[in-house]
Structure 1
Amino acid sequence: MLRTPRTSRTRTPRPTAHRRTRRAVLASAASACLIAASAPSPAPLGIGDRLFPYLGNPGYDVTAYDLDFTYPGSNSKPLPTVTTIGAWTTDWLEQVNLDYSHGTVRSVEVNGAFAEFRSAGEDLVVTPEEPLPPGVPMRITVRHDSNPMPGKGKESGWVRTKDGLAMANQPDAGHRIFPGNDHPSDKALFTIRVTAPNGYKAVANGLPVEVDRRAEATTWTYRTKHPMATELAQVSIGRSSVLHRDGPNGLPVRDVVPTKDREQLEPWLKKTPGQIAWMQKKIGRYPFETYGLLIAEARTGFELETQTLSLFERELFTRPAYPKWYIESVMVHELSHQWFGNSVAPRTWSDLWLNEGHATWYEALYAEEKADRPMEDRMRAAYRASDTWREAGGPPAAPKGAEPGEKLSIFRPNVYDGSALVLYALREKIGRPAFEQLERAWVSTHRDGVADTADFERLASAIAGRDLSGFFEAWLYGAKTPPMPGHPDWRSEAPAKKAEKRARKSAAAPK
C-alpha cells in the first residue's frame, strides 16, 4: 500500500456443491440458529499478532477459497455470496472460528452437514456436528451477504466506485467481505466467481477460466495459480474496459479502466511491460501468472498492491499536479509488492517493513535511474527525519499499533522511507554486490511463502559471510537511528529540535 500524498501449500480439489431446496436451507439454518442460541457464548480467537491480535485463527490451515458473488446492479446493496473454504485441521476442533463481521449469515455447512453458528466479536464461530480431529480435510460453506456499506464505525473492504465496486482489504478488512482466516500468514489458492447484470464487467485475481453469458446476466470465473493472502484479494465490478497487452516472456498484462478514460490512461498503461522488465533485471522473474492495473474512479487515499491486479485511484493519472516521474515511481512501488509482500508474504504485521521498505526502495531506485532523482538525496533526507519517525511510529520492525478507529495508521513514514533507509544502510554495510545477491535470494527462497524479519537477518548474514545481528538490532528495533555506514556526517534531527523550529517559524510569521 502507498498512501496518496494528500489529505506454499498443496491445493485441495474444489468441493462439489451440495444442492438443497430453498425451504430446506432456510429450515436448517433456522434450526442451527435456535440451537446455537441455547449454547454457551463463543469467544473470538486470533493467532496473537502483535498489531492485530484477533486476526487469523488457530487449529486449521486454509488451502483454497471459492468465492461466489452476485452483484445486484447497485454498489449500495448487499451481494448474495457463497464462500467455500477448503482447509486441513491442525488440532482437535470442537468449534471453528472464522474471521467475519460485516454481513448476514444465512447458513453454514461443515463437510456437507449443516452446522450451528454464532458471532463473537469479529469472528463467526461454527460448531460442526462432530468434533474434527487433527490432520483431516475440512470444507466449510457459508451462505451470506457481502455488504459494501460501512457499519458500526467500520468500513467494508469493498470500495464503492462511480460505477461499481472494487476491493481494498489491507490490513484487516478482508473478513468484512467474506469469511476466512484473515491473516497474511495463511495463504491459499482462490477461485472467484462473479455474476453481474449485462453491461457490467467483472475481473478478479488470477486468470479467467470461464465466462457464462445469459439473457440478463453474465458470470465470470477467475482462478489464481499461486497462493494468496486474503488481504490481497481483488474483484472489480463496473462498466469497464479490459485492455490486453504482452509483457516480458509473453506474460499476459491486462488493465481494467473506466471505458471513458481508456485513451487518456493508455500512455501510462503502456509503461507497465517496461517496468516489469526493469524489475526482473533487478530481482528475477515476475512471480505470478499475470499483472495489470485496476484504475478506479474512487477516492481511497492510497494505491494498493492486490495480487496480480494493483488498485490505483484514477486521480493519480489525471491530476496535473503530479509530475511524470512521480506517477511512474508509484506504479513501480505497487509492482514491486508483487515480489515483496505478495509472493513473499509477511509472517506477522510487524514484518510490514519488509513489504513497504522494499517497495519504497525500488520506487526510489527507479526514480534515480529513470528520472535522475538521486537515491542518496532521498535517503539523506530520510535520515534527517528518522528519529522523528521512530518516536511517532516506533522503529521499523516494531511499529506502534494503529490509532483508535484508524487501522491504516500503521502505514506511517517509519515503514516506508524509514524502512528503505534500513536497506540503504545495509547496502552501505555489506556492499552493492552482496546486497543485490541478497535481494534475489530473498524472493527466490521464499517465493509463494511467508517469511519474517528473522529470516531476512539470517539470509543477509549468510550472504555477507558475517553476523549482522547487531546491525539489524540497532536499525530495526532501536529508538534512535544508528550512524549511517559510510556517511559519518549524516545527522538525524531530534524531534524536540524540529518542534522548536516549527514554533519559532510560527512566532515569526506575520500576524
Structure 2
Amino acid sequence: MLLTPRLPDRRPGVPGARPTTVRRRRRAAVLLASAVSACLLAASAPAVPLGVGDRLYPYLGNPGYDVASYDLAFAYPGRNDKPLRAVTTIRARTTAPLERLNLDFAHGTVESVQVDGRPAAFTGAGDDLVITPETPLAEGDWTRITVRHTSDPREDEGRDGGWVRTADGLVMANQADAAHLVFPCNDHPSDKAMFTIRITAPNGYTAVAGGMPAGVTRAGGSTTWTYRTRHPMATELAQVSIGRSAVLHRTGPHALPVRDVVPAADRKALEPWLAKTPDQIAWLESKIGAYPFETYGVLVAEAATGFELETQTLSLFEEDLFTDRVYPRWYVESIMVHELSHQWFGDSVSPRTWSDVWLNEGHATWYEALYAQEKAHKSLADRMKEAYRSSDRWRASGGPPARPEPPEPGQKIGIFRPNVYDGAALVLYALRQEIGRPAFEALERAWVRQHHDGTATTADFTRLAADIAGRDLTGFFQAWLYGEKTPPMPGHPDWKAAAQRVAKK
C-alpha cells in the first residue's frame, strides 16, 4: 500500500515523502487474542470472537484450522449501492479438535451455513461468524464450509476498506484488515490459500479478478467470469474489479501475460503508462530474480481511495495518479515500480505478522527509490539522508520500523506510517552500507527465492542476512529495527537526525 498524496514537494526537504496523515482505520475496540481451548470451543459456552494473537490486529484470524482454498461467487446487481449476493466455500484442515470454528466476517447478512454438506448452526460474535457443525471436527480433518451471504459495498460508520465504489462499479481494497468485510475468511496473512473467484454481472459490465481466466459463460442478460490463482494468496491481497472496463493485453518478460484493466473511455490516454510495465518487470527481475506469479497488470480505478495497493497479480491505482499533470512522469513510474515490487515483497513473501510489514513497505520503497535513481537520476543517497533527518521523529510518533505502534483504542490509526516506508528503506540502506553491496544484493535474491509463496518474519530476514554476510548482525539489527533513536549511519558519520520532540499519539 502506498498512501496519497505523495508528491515530493508536499513536505519540503523529503524526496518522495508520504503524508503525515494516515488512512482511516475502522476499529475502536481491541479484542484480546485467544488460543484454542476447551472452554472456548465447547458448544455449551457462549460464542466469542477469537484471534491468532497478532499484536497490531489481535482480533484478526482464527485458531484451529488452516485454509487450503477459497471459492468465492459474487452476483453483482448492476448497482454499486446495493449488496451483492455471494457464496463462499472454504476448504480447510483442522489443527485442533473443534466443536466450533470461527470465521472473520462482518458487514453482510449470513443466510445459511453448511459444514461438509450438512446444515450447521451459526451466530455472530464481534466481527466473527461462529459456526457449530452437527458433528465436532477432529484434529487433522479436512472440512468444507459453505456460507451463503450478502456482501455489502455500502459504507458503514466506523468502517472502511473492503469494497470500494468506483464511478462505474466496484474494486476491492482489503489491506490490512478488511477482507472480512467482503467475504467470510481467516483474515490474516499467515494463512495463505488458493482462490477461485466467480463474478456474475449484467451484460455490459466486465469483471476481472486476480489470477488467470478460467472461463466465461453467458446466460440471458448476465455473464459469469471465473478466475483462479496458481499461487497461494493472503486474503488482504484478493482483488475483484467490476465496471465498464477495457481489458488490455500485452506480453512481459519470458512471455509473461500482462493484463491491464482500465475505464473503457480512458484506455487511449492511459496506454502510454501501461506500456511501461514489461520493462519495469524486466528491471526488477534484474535486481531480485524471476517475477513470482502467473500474470501481472495494472487496475486503474476512477475512485478517490487515498492509496495505491499491491493486490496480487493486479495492482490497484487511482486514475488521478496517471491523469493529474501535477505528478512528474518519473515520479509516477517510480510509484508503479513500488506496487510492482510488492509482488515479490509482501505478496509472494508475505508477513507472518503485521509487525513484519516493514519488510513489505521498506523493500517496495527501496526499489521505488532505486528505480528513480537509475532511470531519472534522483539520488538515492540524498533521499536516504533526508529520511535519516526525519527518522527519530518517525520513531517517536509511530514506533521503530519492526515494532510499529498499534492503533490505540478510540483512534482510527493504521500502521501505514512513514516509519514503515522511508524509515524501513533507511534500514535497508544502512544494511547495504554495513555488509556491502554484493552481500546485500545476494541477500535480496536469496530472500525472495527461499520464501517464495510463503510467509516470513523479521527474524527470518535478520538470520539470512547474518548467514550471507558471514558474521553476527544482532547488534546492528536490534538498534536499527527496534531502537527508539536512529543509530549512526555506516559510512556517513556526518548524517544527523533532526532534533525534534514529538508527542506520541
Global fold match (TM > 0.5): yes
Which residue of structure 2 aligns with residue 240 of structure 1? 245
The partner residue of 1:314 within 306, 310, 319 is 319
How far the C-alpha of 1:329 sits from its partner, in A, is 0.3
Query: Within 5 Å, which residues of 2 pair with 1:192-207?
Result: 192-207=197-212
Amino acid at match of 1:490: W
Measured after TM superposition, the shift of residue 403 of structure 1 is: 4.8
Alignment of 1:366 with 2:366, yes or no, is no
- Which residue of 120, 144, 148 corresponds with 1:143? 148
Give the equivalent residue in structure 1 for 2:23: none
Aligned match for 1:131, one of 121, 130, 136: 136
- Describe the shift of the 1:286–1:395 C-alpha distance in structure 2 as closer, same or farther (beyond 3 A): same
Q: Which amino acid aligns with 1:108?
A: V
Letter in 2 for 1:292: G
Task: Show structure 2 runs of 5+ residues with no match.
Answer: 11-42
Identify which of 115, 124, 127 aligns with 2:120. 115
Which residues of 2 match residues 270-281 of structure 1 at below 5 A?
A: 270-281=275-286
Letter in 2 for 1:389: W
Change in 2 beyond 3 A, CA 1:59/1:156: same
Query: C-alpha separation between the residues in 1 aligned to 2:373 and 2:156?
Result: 44
Letter in 2 for 1:398: R
1:375 aligns with 380
Aligned to 2:452: 447
Q: Is the 8 A contact 2:121 2:132 kept in 1?
A: yes
| Structure 2 match to 1:283 | 288
Once residues 244 and 252 of structure 2 are traced to their aligned partners in structure 1, the CA distance between those partners, rounded to angstroms, is 25
- Alpha-carbon offset, residue 41 of structure 1: 2.8
Is 1:3 paired with 2:3?
yes
1:222-237 equivalent positions in 2, closer than 5 A: 222-237=227-242
Conservation of the 8 A alpha-carbon contact between 1:3 and 1:302: yes
- Preserved contact between residue 62 and residue 85 of structure 1 (Cα < 8 Å): yes
Distance of aligned partners of 1:406 and 1:222 in 2 relative to their CA distance in 1, 3 Å threshold: farther
TM-score when normalising by structure 1? 0.90
Q: What is the RMSD of the two structures over their aligned residues, measured on CA atoms?
A: 1.3
Aligned-pair distance for 1:101? Answer: 1.1
Task: Quote the Cα distance in structure 2 between the aligned partners of 1:124 and 1:407.
Answer: 23
DSSP-derived class of the 2:99 partner: coil
Please state whether the residue corresponding to 1:495 is helix, strand or coil: coil
Name 1:13's counterpart in structure 2.
none
1:40: how far off?
Answer: 4.8
Q: Provide runs of 4+ in structure 1 moved above 2 Å.
A: 38-41, 402-409
**C-alpha distance in 1, partners of 2:160/2:338?**
25
Q: Which residue of structure 1 aligns with residue 345 of structure 2?
A: 340
**Which residue number in structure 2 is paired with residue 492 of structure 1?**
497
Conserved 8 A contact 1:343-1:448: yes
Cα separation, 1, equivalents of 2:259 and 2:290: 18
Q: Which residue does 1:90 correspond to in 2?
A: 95
Q: The residue matched to 1:410 in structure 2 has which SS? A: coil
2:401 corresponding residue in structure 1: 396
- CA deviation after TM superposition for structure 1 residue 156, in Å: 4.7
- Distance in 1 (alpha carbons) for counterparts of 2:471 and 2:238: 39
Q: Map residues 32-71 of structure 1 onto 2, 5 A cutoff.
A: 40-71=45-76
Shift in alpha-carbon separation, 1:406–1:447, aligned structure 2, 3 A: farther
Q: CA deviation at 1:151?
A: 1.7
Partner Cα distance (2:397, 2:200) in 1: 45
Asked if residue 480 in structure 1 is aligned to residue 477 in structure 2, the reply is no
How far did 1:402 drift?
2.2
SS in structure 1 of the partner of residue 487 of structure 2: coil
Which whole-Å CA distance do the structure 2 matches of 1:408 and 1:353 have between them?
A: 17
Structure 2 residue identity aligned to 1:109: Q
Cα drift, residue 155 of structure 1: 2.2
- Compared CA separation, residues 439 and 407, structure 1 to 2 (3 A): farther
| Counterpart contact for 2:394–2:418, Cα < 8 Å | yes
For CA contacts below 8 A with separation 6 or more, give which structure has more relative contact order: 2
Q: How do 1:407-418 residues align onto structure 2 when only pairs under 5 Å count?
A: 409-418=414-423
Whether contact under 8 Å (1:149, 1:156) holds in the other structure is no
Contact (CA 8 Å) 1:403, 1:409: kept in 2 or not? no
- What code does the residue aligned with 1:183 have? H
Query: How far apart are residue 121 of structure 1 and its match?
Result: 0.5
Find the counterpart in structure 2 of residue 212 from structure 1: 217
Describe the shift of the 1:185–1:491 C-alpha distance in structure 2 as closer, same or farther (beyond 3 A): same
For 1:107 and 1:40, the matched residues in 2 are separated by: 22
8 Å Cα contact 2:161/2:175 also seen in 1: no
Deviation at 1:398, TM superposition (A): 0.3
> For residues 407 and 307 of structure 1, do their structure 2 counterparts lie closer, same or farther at Cα, with a shift above 3 Å needed?
farther
Q: Could you tell me whether the CA contact under 8 Å between 1:461 and 1:468 is conserved in 2?
A: yes
Amino acid at match of 2:341: S
SS, match of residue 43 in structure 1: coil
Tell me how far apart the structure 1 counterparts of residues 44 and 353 of structure 2 sit (CA, whole Å). Answer: 33
Q: 1:221 aligns to what SS in structure 2?
A: strand
- How far the C-alpha of 1:477 sits from its partner, in A, is 0.2
Partners of 1:99 and 1:67 lie apart in 2 by 15
SS in 2 for 1:249: helix
Q: Is the 8 A contact 2:164 2:170 kept in 1?
A: yes
1:136 Cα offset (Å): 1.1
**In the TM superposition, what whole-angstrom CA distance separates every residue of 1:369-390 from its partner, at most 9, and x where no partner exists?**
0000010000000000000000
Deviations, residues 11-33 of structure 1 (Å, cap 9, x unaligned)? xxxxxxxxxxxxxxxxxxxxxxx
CA contact (8 A) 1:171 1:408 kept: no
What's the counterpart of residue 506 of structure 1? none
Cα 1:407–1:192 change in 2 (3 A) is farther
- Greater helix content: 1
* C-alpha displacement of 1:154: 1.0
Aligned to 1:257: 262
Q: Distance in 2 between matches of 1:104 and 1:384?
A: 50
